[in-house]
């Protein structure tokens, strides 16, 4: 058992002592009386009776010791702006926005929906809600009106805070008309809408409903709002899981457990300390943005970079230039971003001084081995693959350099993080599986601090969705296939609903994609199962090439297709060979970088792909269609 595994074992065998020690990393206004209340499984309440406040822990407690140090660094390559806020600046802005919200009747337990781009006002609003004891619900900027209306009706916010528009890759996305339509569709419309006018989209405010952010800010800019102390289990925010159909599924997070988990992870998982600088390239609309753009770094006393832009604008070196300019110590991104950079000039990886950077963390989707090897060689820095979900709020599996320095393996997110009792379980029997046996990755309850406490307004759905899917035992299902090897390293093999059944053979799309990505010409690919009258399903692959010019010669596509199939034959066997490999220049993805596999399947089968308002590039699906 290595030091990380030993540390993890302590967190499971003696939870009370372990989490009592970790809880000292945050400020408690009132000490807790009980570490864990697990009297109603699978519901877990952490630090019962303790009172704290997320905003106080992220902002107030650093003002005296680090008031003049950088707290929030905003860089936008979309509007060519940059602003640096110290902790003292952040304290002033958050108090002002808290007063603005309070003037509209927002208080403890009220919901505020935030529908904003990656601008500082979004962070101020999140922290202001936490200060007031209000529950924020951030919806990814530019989300479709129907989906936004569902979230409005479910959360029933008293106020919505938005902006006139966002921008991505130089293209403006107007938010105001999307929000107006969503409110018109909603059965629970808010009383007030506060709008940040960036001057990107001309609009007419709705009289009596719409308020100007800057006018309110001017009115309350000298305000001081005392933090509202919340019992540890009180909800801090609602975050709706992406891709939800029907009634939205709002992940509800607590307050005290989340604060402790993030403070602990900034040290244990990210090996960071106060005064450092953290760059996370996610979006505040996703869980990674909540945990590791906003709350985690600030609770850890670090400066956090809020970046509005793409990884290739103005060029493929922008992220590395941020590392150099702001002496970034820890960087957190997604495999998709790195695969995009694989198509850029490799000299950009060597152009900037990256001496401050300790490690690059990658999560959000499986990290294929070729991409991991490419970026590791290019940067000469440790690449830490980590695995977690919206529901868990922080990392389930990762190397943990703040605990101990243990070797990593490409293709593996390493070991269970302390607090998560991770198992691999037989989906038919519910029994634990041993090394190198494929099963469902699950977590034996109680879920640790920081994980979801329930689904907003629907405890029964929480239990049914997450804890009743595996027979004969109550465990949290990640709905991912996985295994661990004889050394305890875990490997994630794809979603349990991404299984292709070809003539009775169950094949994971993730495994086939990994194999195809080993071809030196392939930048990335997506494999989907298409209905077939003879075999039930067949696998079809859509590959993006590093250099499309390799197909310029007649017959080059068939030759390359054959070479790719040969690799799959050699690595996985003929049964896993795709029926066809099609070549496209881009894959249809959400703005968070996830491939829309279900939409690809629908196009391939001649069906309606459904709501595509979150797709990054609508022409990508046309390419899929044309390639067929």
pLDDT at position 244 is: 36
499-529 pLDDT, tens digit per residue, is: 777 766 667 788 899 889 999 999 999 999 9
Q: Transcribe 417-444 into DSSP letters.
A: PTT--EEEE-TTT-PBP-TT--EEEEEP
What b-and-e string marks burial along 276-289, b requiring 16 or more CB atoms within 10 Å of the CB? bbbbbbbbbbbbbb
* Non-local CB neighbours of 373 within 8 Å, separated by 6+ positions: 410
Considering the domain delimited by 498-627, tell me its CATH architecture. Answer: 2-Layer Sandwich (3.30)
The tally of CA atoms less than 13 A away on the side-chain side of residue 105 is 8
Q: Which residue ranges in the chain fall short of pLDDT 50?
A: 243-245
pLDDT at position 590 is: 81
**Where would I find the H helices in 221-290?**
256-268, 287-289
Q: Is the pTM of this model over 0.75?
A: yes
- Helix 87-103 vs helix 120-132: crossing angle, to nearest 10: 70
H or E stretch covering 572: helix 556-572
- DSSP helix/strand/coil, 474: coil
* Class in CATH terms, 3-309+386-480: alpha beta
pLDDT at position 613 is: 66
The domain ranges of the chain are: 3-309+386-480, 498-627
């Amino acid at each position: 058992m290595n030091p990380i595994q030993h540390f993890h074992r302590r967190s499971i065998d003696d939870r009370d002592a372990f989490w009592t020690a970790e809880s000292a990393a945050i400020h408690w206004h009132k000490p807790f009386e009980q570490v864990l209340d697990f009297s109603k499984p699978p519901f877990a309440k952490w630090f019962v009776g303790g009172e704290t406040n997320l905003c106080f822990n992220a902002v107030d407690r650093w003002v005296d010791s680090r008031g003049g140090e950088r707290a929030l660094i905003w860089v936008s390559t979309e509007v060519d702006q940059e602003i640096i806020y110290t902790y003292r600046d952040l304290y002033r802005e958050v108090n002002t926005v808290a007063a603005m919200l309070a003037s509209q009747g927002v208080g403890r337990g009220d919901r505020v929906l935030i529908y904003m781009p990656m601008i500082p006002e979004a962070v101020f609003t999140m922290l202001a809600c936490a200060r007031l004891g209000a529950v924020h619900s951030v919806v990814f900027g530019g989300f479709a009106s129907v989906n936004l209306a569902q979230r409005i009706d479910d959360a029933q916010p008293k106020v919505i805070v938005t902006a006139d528009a966002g921008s991505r890759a130089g293209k403006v996305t107007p938010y105001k008309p999307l929000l107006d339509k969503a409110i018109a569709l909603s059965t629970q419309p808010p009383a007030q809408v506060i709008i940040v006018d960036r001057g990107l989209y001309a609009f007419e405010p709705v009289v009596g409903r719409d308020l100007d952010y800057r006018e309110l800010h001017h009115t309350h800019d000298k305000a001081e709002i005392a933090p509202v102390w919340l019992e540890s289990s009180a909800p801090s925010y609602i975050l709706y899981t992406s891709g939800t159909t029907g009634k939205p599924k709002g992940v509800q997070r607590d307050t005290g457990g989340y604060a402790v988990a993030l403070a602990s992870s900034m040290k244990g998982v990210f090996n960071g300390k106060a005064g450092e600088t953290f760059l996370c390239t996610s979006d505040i609309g996703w869980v990674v943005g909540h945990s590791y753009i906003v709350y985690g770094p600030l609770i850890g006393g670090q400066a956090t970079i809020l970046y509005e832009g793409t990884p290739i604008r103005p060029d493929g070196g922008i992220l590395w230039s941020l590392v150099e300019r702001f002496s970034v110590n820890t960087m957190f991104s997604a495999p998709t971003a790195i695969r995009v950079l694989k198509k850029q000039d490799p000299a950009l990886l060597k152009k900037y001084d990256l001496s401050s950077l300790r490690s690059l963390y990658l999560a959000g989707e499986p990290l294929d081995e070729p991409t991991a090897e490419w970026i590791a060689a290019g940067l000469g820095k440790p690449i830490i693959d980590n695995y977690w979900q919206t529901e868990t709020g922080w990392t389930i599996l990762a190397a943990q350099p703040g605990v101990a320095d243990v070797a990593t393996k490409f293709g593996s997110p390493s070991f269970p993080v302390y607090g998560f009792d991770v198992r691999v379980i037989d989906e038919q029997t519910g029994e634990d599986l041993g090394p190198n046996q494929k099963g469902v990755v699950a977590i034996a309850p109680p879920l640790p601090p920081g994980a979801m406490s329930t689904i907003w307004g629907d405890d029964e759905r929480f239990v049914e969705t997450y804890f009743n899917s595996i027979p004969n035992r109550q465990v949290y299902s990640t709905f991912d296939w996985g295994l661990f090897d004889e050394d305890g390293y875990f490997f994630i093999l794809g979603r349990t609903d991404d299984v292709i059944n070809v003539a009775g053979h169950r094949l994971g799309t993730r495994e086939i994609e990994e194999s195809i990505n080993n071809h030196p010409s392939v930048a990335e690919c997506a494999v989907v199962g298409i209905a077939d009258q003879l075999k039930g399903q067949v696998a079809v692959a859509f590959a993006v090439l590093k250099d499309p010019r390799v197909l310029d010669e007649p017959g080059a596509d068939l030759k390359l297709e054959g070479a790719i199939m040969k690799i799959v034959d050699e690595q996985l066997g003929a049964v896993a060979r795709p029926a066809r490999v099609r070549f496209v220049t881009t894959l249809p993805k959400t703005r968070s970088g996830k491939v829309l596999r279900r939409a690809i399947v629908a196009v391939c089968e001649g069906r309606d792909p459904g709501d595509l308002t979150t797709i990054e590039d609508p022409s990508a699906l046309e390419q899929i269609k044309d390639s067929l």
